[in-house]
Amino acid sequence: MRTQVGIVGAGPAGLLLSHLLHLRGIDSVVLEARSREYVEQRVRAGVLEQGTVDVLNEAGVGARMSAEGLPHHGIELRYGGAGHRIPFERLVPGRAITVYGQQEVVKDLIARRLADGGKILFDVPDVVPHSLEADPYLTFQGERLDCDVIAGCDGFHGVCRPSIPDGVLSIFQRDYPFAWLGILAQVPPSAEELIYSRGDRGFALHSMRSPEISRFYLQVPPDASLDDWPDERIWAELRARLETVPGFALTEGPIISRDLSAMRSFVAEPMRYGRLYLAGDAAHIVPPTGAKGLNLAVADVRVLTEALAGLYATGSTELLDAYSATCLKRVWRAQHFSWWMTTLLHTFDTDDPYGRRLQTSHLDYVTSSEAAATTLAENYVGLPFDFGAPRD
Ligand code: APR
Ligand code: PHB
């Protein structure tokens, strides 16, 4: 088999890349370790930046997102017995977020690729990348797929990044001393907007998927097990961490899924080796507090698509050569924002009273200063794709 771009991984990065390339007349094959059902059902985050929404709409895959996604124009920071709204409509006019589950984006992209005759091979767990410096190819299940370039879109635990020889990549990493327990519940959201709640018992987040389905997260110890968290304990802890302002009551209902995620910051540089280009979680991870993971994956593949379109139109590798540096500017902005939101809102074992006071002071600043609130708002809704030029 031969294709122009061999894509490993059918998450948001690999699927969107395959679709965007198709729109430019570039052929690709996607190889995915898991089944279609598995990738379509996997519950992940659900906040789309304005720029992500624009990319999906412009690519013609935004119809269901536009119909079913929930536009949000603010978030609440809750601490010290009060809620404080960060109003996007005033701080970053014209920019908002859309709450729409990542697996819904994945379903929409798979449906569109298959309708367009795209090749996605599911249940291929044994992909191996070869010959990354020149004439790259992928082997799997006794087959060989020759390609001009390989796109490593296979997530943090994929095979592409580890196939780069030792000593090439620089790794930048921070692990946080807690995890997030996430649930989906068959119950209407208890508030119209997301609530990021900081308190002495730990962080909690109120989010949603639809007018009928709520999504919640709890900060839990890093070694927590789902067995330690029966439904009643989850609801009791959510109540204790979220019912901290007058008049707010959590609506409870059946829990329909639960998951645990480690909290990690990670960047591999450069995002390229020879003819292998890494995109999305394969190259970088952020803790979910800033809601940036999916959005960074979309930003990467947007850059990679332009670079590959440049290669096939003119033979020039200029944009491809700049791919890693171009992406890393945005990656590091999101790294900082995600780390900042995480340290602002969680409790740490190492907290001393001084550190706790600093955290409160920082929250007071963000919720009272227009400049500080704007910093949060413009990062949260997503900086423009071309940000980074110095201001006069
Ligand atoms: N071979 C083929 N496919 C693989 C392999 C492999 N060896 N290893 C992993 N995969 C697949 C996974 O099964 C998954 O479907 O690669 C895909 C990677 O998808 P994601 O993990 O969703 O990563 P990405 O597309 O970069 O999207 C980033 O995912 O983790 C979230 O918060 C993150 O929202 C962000 C988004
Ligand atoms: C989610 O709805 O899954 C969600 C929302 C905001 C975050 C992380 C996850 O910061």
Residues linked to residue 173 through DSSP beta bridges, in sequence order: 266
pLDDT of 389 over the 80 cut = no
CATH architecture, domain defined by 5-76+93-172+264-356: 3-Layer(bba) Sandwich (3.50)
Q: How confident is the prediction for the chain on average, in pLDDT?
A: 97
pLDDT at 134: 95
pLDDT digit string, tens, across residues 182-222? 999 999 999 999 999 999 999 999 999 999 999 999 999 99
Is the CB–ligand 1 distance for residue 153 below 6 Å? yes
pLDDT at 351: 80
72 is a catalytic site residue: yes
**Angle, CA of 112, 307 and 2, to the nearest 5°:** 60
| Every domain of the chain and the residues it spans | 5-76+93-172+264-356
pLDDT band at 392 (very low <50, low <70, confident <90, very high): low
In the set 100, 176, 196, 323, the catalytic residue is 196
pLDDT digit string, tens, across residues 257-304? 999 999 999 999 999 999 999 999 999 999 999 999 999 999 999 999
pLDDT at 288: 97
- Core vs surface per residue 317-326: b (16+ CB within 10 A) or e: eebbeebbeb
Do 310 and 344 contact (CB within 8 A), yes or no?
A: no
Q: Of the residues 56, 217, 281, which should be mutated to test ligand 1's pocket, given the most ligand atoms within 8 Å of the CB?
A: 281
DSSP string, 327-373: HHHHHHHHHHHHHHHHHHH---TT--HHHHHHHHHHHHHHHH-HHHH
246 is a catalytic site residue: no
pLDDT at 331: 98
292 is a catalytic site residue: yes
- Core vs surface per residue 153-174: b (16+ CB within 10 A) or e: bbbbebbbbebbeeeebeeeee
pLDDT of 350 over the 90 cut = no
Q: Of the residues 154, 271, 286, which should be mutated to test ligand 1's pocket, given the most ligand atoms within 8 Å of the CB?
A: 154
> In this structure, what is the dihedral angle of CA atoms 26, 27, 29, 35, given to the nearest 10 degrees?
70
Q: What is the mean pLDDT of residues 314-338?
A: 97
277 is a catalytic site residue: no
pLDDT of 329 over the 70 cut = yes
Tell me the CA–centroid distance for residue 39 and ligand 1, in Å.
9
pLDDT at 130: 98
Q: What is the mean pLDDT of residues 141-168?
A: 98
Distances (CA, A) of 133 to 1, 166, 359: 20, 14, 48
pLDDT at 387: 83
Q: What is the mean pLDDT of residues 323-345?
A: 98
Tell me the CA–centroid distance for residue 155 and ligand 1, in Å.
4
Do 7 and 102 contact (CB within 8 A), yes or no?
A: no
Identity at 46, one-letter amino acid code: G
pLDDT at 349: 82
Residues linked to residue 215 through DSSP beta bridges, in sequence order: 184, 207
Do 183 and 255 contact (CB within 8 A), yes or no?
A: yes
Do 10 and 39 contact (CB within 8 A), yes or no?
A: yes
19 is a catalytic site residue: no
Q: Which ligand is nearest to the CA of 182?
A: 2
pLDDT digit string, tens, across residues 49-75? 999 999 999 999 999 999 999 999 999
Comparison of pLDDT for 13 and 45, the residue scoring more:
13
In the set 189, 284, 288, 346, the catalytic residue is 288
pLDDT of 376 over the 70 cut = yes
C-alpha span between 271 and 269 (Å, rounded):
5
pLDDT digit string, tens, across residues 85-135? 999 999 999 999 999 999 999 999 999 999 999 999 999 999 999 999 999
